[in-house]
Amino acid sequence: MKKALGLIETVGLTTAITALDAASKAADVTLVGYEKVIGAGKAVSVTIQIAGEVAAVKASVEAGVSAANRVGTVLSYHVIPRPHEEVDKLIEKFKKNFEKDKKSNKIKDKSKNKKKENK
């Protein structure tokens, strides 16, 4: 991969979304996945995983961390420029899980809308 992987781990979903919003606006990056962990920092942590060109990911992570620190707690962050091909396999797994989640959420949203229309 000639791209980079950026990780931002926050306490709580609101802080993670704030980080992702700022990161996405700062440069051309793609959200490739996210992880929720119960018990990190004695709370629920959310790690967002973004990918893109090295400079873009570095700028995005910096912007995301800065924004997230204004509303909550950032536990850790890191940028891996041009990760090893084994890490690429992990990134592909993140993407597949993320796509699967998106599809299942769309199905759930459609079924909720149908129930509302039937009422």
Share of the chain above pLDDT 70, in %: 83
The CA R_g of the chain, rounded to the nearest whole Å, is 16
Give tens-digit pLDDT for 3-38: 899 999 999 999 999 999 999 999 999 998 888 888
Number of Cα atoms under 13 Å in the Cβ half of residue 91: 22
Yes or no: say if 11 and 43 are a contact pair by the CB < 8 Å rule. Answer: yes
Give tens-digit pLDDT for 37-49: 887 667 889 999 9
pTM for the predicted model, two decimal places: 0.77
CB atoms within 10 A of CB 52: 20
